[in-house]
Amino acid sequence: MQKLLEAITINFIKDNRYLYIVTGFKNTMIITFFATIIGIVLGLIIALIRTTYDNTRKLKVANAICHIYITVIRGTPVVIQLMILFFCIFTSRHVSGVMIAIIGFGMNSAAYVAEIFRSGLMSIEVGQMEAGRSLGLSYLDTMRYIIIPQAFKVVLPSLCNEFIVLIKETSIAGYVAVQDLTKGGDIIRSRTYDAWTPLLAVAGIYLLLTCIFSAFAKRLEQSLRKNERTNNG
């Protein structure tokens, strides 16, 4: 017990070292939050283009671009993408590491989210689209009011899974000198030479984050299922 208190004092209290964790936590949250938004928006656009092509054979060029995008992004490690963005593409000093991490993780996540959305959109039976169109709704309106709301419910669990992966994936942002949660722990480790305490603390915070996120996603899932018939009903 004495030893534990001592370890906590040295690793977090002395020289205000807990600030490394606080800043790291803040940066991890910022990166995850904005990357999630980019991922969902870009992912949805890609998924819509791909399904539209599959259904109507329109948007041929856009579909080809999306296809290449997904192939490249899914086919290369995210840490390499991040370093290419940092060292080769955004070489201006005005683009901060956090910004690059947001763009990198957002673009990476979009490729996966696109495929998740696409599987959801494809899972809705053709009759729904036909019904919408026969009632006089345009293709986009049918998508927006009929297909997407149903598809969203289907993809929610895998979408939630993707974002849990994303939270943890941001831990490689330290490669481009971003002080995220993992790097914060690493800096403390490099000052105190104690491996256990900072690593366990950082692991605990990630676990807590993903638990909170899963709980939130579960509630959302339940509230979306309110209109469904129950098994015994």
Partner 1 sequence: MKKIISLILSISVLALLVGCGSKSTVASTDTASSETAAKPKQKLILCTNAEFPPYEYKEGGEYVGIDIECAKLIGEKLNAEIEIMDIAFDSLIPTIMSGKADFAMAGMTVTEDRLKNIDFTHTYQTAVQTIVVPQNSDITSVDDLSDKKIGVQTGTTADIYCSDDFGDEAVERYSKIIDGFQAMKAGKVDACVVDDQVAKAIVAQDGGSFKILSSAYAEEEYAIAVKKGNTELLNKLNNAIDEIKGSGQLLQIVNKYIH
Tokens, residue 11: 């690793």
Residue (50 or 189) nearer to partner 1, CB: 189
Residue (24 or 120) nearer to partner 1, CB: 24
Q: How far is the CB of 75 from partner 1 (least distance, A)?
A: 24
- What residues make contact with partner 1 under the rule CB under 8 A? 19-20, 23, 86-87, 91-93, 97, 174-175, 177, 179, 183, 186-187, 189-195
Residue (84 or 208) nearer to partner 1, CB: 84
Q: How far is the CB of 10 from partner 1 (least distance, A)?
A: 9
Q: How far is the CB of 215 from partner 1 (least distance, A)?
A: 33
Q: How far is the CB of 153 from partner 1 (least distance, A)?
A: 43
CA atoms within 13 A on the CB side of 114: 26
Tokens, residue 133: 């169109």
Whole-number Å distance between alpha carbons of 116 and 114: 5
Q: How far is the CB of 172 from partner 1 (least distance, A)?
A: 11
From the number of C-beta atoms within 10 Å of its C-beta (0-12, 13-18, 19+), residue 105 rates as buried
217: how many CB neighbours lie within 10 A of its CB?
Answer: 17
End-to-end CA distance of the chain: 55
- The answer to whether 29 and 98 have CB atoms below 8 angstroms apart is no
Output DSSP code: residue 125: -
Residue (169 or 186) nearer to partner 1, CB: 186
Residue (19 or 64) nearer to partner 1, CB: 19
